Amino acid sequence: METLSTPARVFATTVADRRACAPGVVVLSLSAPELGSVTRPGQYVMAIPPGGERAGTALGIYEAGDGGISLLFFVTGSRTAALAGLRPGDALDLLGPLGNGFDLSGDPRDVGIVAGGVGIASVLLPAIALRRAGARVRLYYGARSAAHLVEAERFAGEGCELLLATDDGSAGHRGYVTELIARDDAPGLLLACGPSPMLRAVGRLAEERGLRAQLSLEETFACGVGGCWGCVVPVVRESAQAPSFPPASAGGSDVVNARICKEGPVFWAHELRW
Ligand X SMILES: Cc1cc2nc3c(=O)[nH]c(=O)nc-3n(C[C@H](O)[C@H](O)[C@H](O)COP(=O)(O)OP(=O)(O)OC[C@H]3O[C@@H](n4cnc5c(N)ncnc54)[C@H](O)[C@@H]3O)c2cc1C
Residue 59 site contact among ligand FES, ligand X, none (CB < 5 to 8 Å, cut-off depends on kind): ligand X
Per-residue binding letters, 28-47, with ligand FES (x by CB under 6 A): --------------------
Is residue 96 near ligand X by the rule CB under 6 A?
A: no
Which residues lie across from 70 on neighbouring strands? 29, 63
| 114: enclosing H helix or E strand | strand 110-116
Is residue 44 near ligand X by the rule CB under 6 A?
A: yes
Residue 223 site contact among ligand FES, ligand X, none (CB < 5 to 8 Å, cut-off depends on kind): ligand FES
**What's the rounded Cα separation, in Å, for the pair 34 and 31?**
9
| 198: enclosing H helix or E strand | helix 196-209
Per-residue binding letters, 255-274, with ligand X (x by CB under 6 A): ----------x---------
For the CB of residue 69, give the shortest distance to ligand FES in the complex, in Å: 21
Half-sphere exposure of 88 (CA within 13 A, CB side): 4
Contact 192, 180 (CB under 8 A): no
Is residue 116 near ligand X by the rule CB under 6 A?
A: no
Three-state DSSP at 182 gives helix
Contact 42, 103 (CB under 8 A): no
- Which range in 2-10, 28-36, 74-82, 148-156 contacts ligand X by CB under 6 A? 74-82
Residue 229 site contact among ligand FES, ligand X, none (CB < 5 to 8 Å, cut-off depends on kind): ligand FES
Q: What amino acid occupies position 69?
A: I
Three-state DSSP at 208 gives helix
- In 3D space, the residue among 218, 208, 146 whose CA is nearest the CA of residue 181 turns out to be 208
User: Contact with ligand X (CB under 6 A): which of 102, 140, 155, 221?
Assistant: 221
Does a cis peptide bond (omega within 30 degrees of 0) precede residue 97?
yes
Is residue 98 near ligand FES by the rule CB under 6 A?
A: no
| 209: enclosing H helix or E strand | helix 196-209
- Which range in 58-66, 158-166, 197-205, 207-215 contacts ligand X by CB under 6 A? 58-66
Per-residue binding letters, 189-218, with ligand X (x by CB under 6 A): -----------------------------x
Is residue 39 near ligand X by the rule CB under 6 A?
A: no
Q: What amino acid occupies position 97?
A: P
Q: What amino acid occupies position 84?
A: A
Binding site residues, ligand X, CB under 6 A: 44, 57-60, 72-74, 76-80, 118, 121-122, 218-221, 265
Binding site residues, ligand FES, CB under 6 A: 221-224, 226-231, 259, 261
